[in-house]
Structure 1
Amino acid sequence: MLSYTSVGSTRQGTSVEDLQARVREQERERQRQSALEAAARPEERVVKLEAAQPTSGSKVSRSPGSFVRRDSSPIKPLSGILNTERLLSTPHTSEQVSALWTAFHASRSGGTGRGFICASLPLETYRYPKFVVPLPRETTTADSNNGDSKKAHEFYILQWDFYDAPPPPSAFSDPFASKVPPEDNKSVNPQIATAIFAPLLEYKLRQAFATPSLVLTFYPDLASTHGLVLLRGEITPSAVKESTTGDYLLSQQDAQFLAHGLQRFYLWGSSEEREKLVSDFHERPGEFKWEELLKHGDLGV
């Protein structure tokens, strides 16, 4: 066929080189068209899916996993820490989820867990955005000859922040889920919450620009499925290499103490006096007593 075309064309004054160049050009054009068609296929698929959607008058049914958040939350999603699809593909009890959460964080930092604390809590309602937590410090009196230590306290401000509620995780992800959820697509979970701890003295000087020493993040993703809120605590790394707390602004023990302080003052049910301290701090500041705060801030009480 090629020989026939070449001979016939040569008779019309077209050289073999011109024909070869024309064939190469046609081949390039064919490849370009094929590439364009391949690139258009995903768009055609989306168009077909959109055409198959119900009209605006009908109600759209979406799976829980198709919910897409619209906020610009700085919180790392739980699915970025745990494989929630795999977790939900097989039954897990609340105790098993708690054990997995603890084991995961214990394996961080080369198996030491340094820089993180974690917990799992029953589903609770968070109240009052700020409070102060005393952190015990051992000091040695200057006029003491035998080096006796005296207990002092460093106060940390605790501030809550809240973000949009996460959707219940699904054992299956939908790659074709709509990127814009409808207005009535509300999550059944509570809001994501963070609790930020910063030294009270620094907070008084710098307010919102104070550097947090510890950030606790409460993940309620499994609240509706397991009745569980997962807690992740991250200790801020220290900018000073030679620090009394190593490479972090807080020691592991101090971070755990602050987290326990939050639990003692906010997870009510065991002490009406601690509940009154938090409410007085916000609603009746004139009745707030620092002596009572120090008393109930002691883990031994």
Structure 2
Amino acid sequence: EFFYRVKARKQITILDTCHSGAAVDIYQRGVLAQEQAVRNLYRNIGVVVFAASSATESAYESFITKSGYFTFSLLYALSGDTMILSDQKTAMKLYGFTSNADYNRDGNILVSEVSQFLQEKVLSISSGDQTPQTFTQGLDFPLYTTNQNTTSLDETSQLIFTPPNGINFLQDIQYGTRYSTPNNGELYLFDYPPEVDIQGQVNQIVTGQPFQWEISVKVGNLNAIIKAYNYFQNQKNYALLTTTYSGTGVLLIIIVPSEEYQSAQSWIIPAITGVKIKK
């Protein structure tokens, strides 16, 4: 839950301690314990935890590098020998390190590539006594890039939301905000960066939910596509509305109990049209 409160789009935790894999186990149990609907709504693009060892293992240090096997391998994974001190180059050759973790040589060193590199190298140089662990949630992304064509994460729209009366802030979540609404409902407003497939996000939420209808309304100079679904959760029926705004990464989700849906009409459309995007 802590990660969902953090507004950073990509979050990395690095633990180079003995038994640090226990933290990975905790993160994994936390994700599994969440209901599917919450996981889908809160799904983020990049939460990563790198741990130096499993929950039952020690994390070892090298007298040659004067650093931990894990930290030495992580630095080399990202930078090759450019950040390796002169007195560590002997260890580099001894351990068989010849290149960084950019396995496909595309100029981007991805989380998955670093994870693979750490698994291979740390396990090897520790003679099998230390097994790095990685927890990831969301999409793969570069930890380091030399590719000048990579899209800046700051290239997002400017979102302004004016909620109708009765819609109140609850909490910041990954890429957005959660609100309470009248009629025992909830509203989620997301502003995804360009690299996120917004339709993919919607599909994850509505998969298996009966589709009801679709309409298009004009919001400023944008077309807002509203789709309605029946949503069943915890033995209860809900009305679920998703709204996407053409040419943007903005997604608005409204969930209200089915029996409250008609009464909620007074604020649903004002909420949808209360979204303004300055591009």
Q: Quick check: TM above 0.5? A: no
The two structures have a TM-score, normalised by structure 1, of 0.23
Structure 1 or 2: larger strand share?
Answer: 2
The two structures have a TM-score, normalised by structure 2, of 0.24
Structure 1 or 2: larger helix share?
Answer: 1
Instruction: State the structure with more CA Rg.
Output: 1
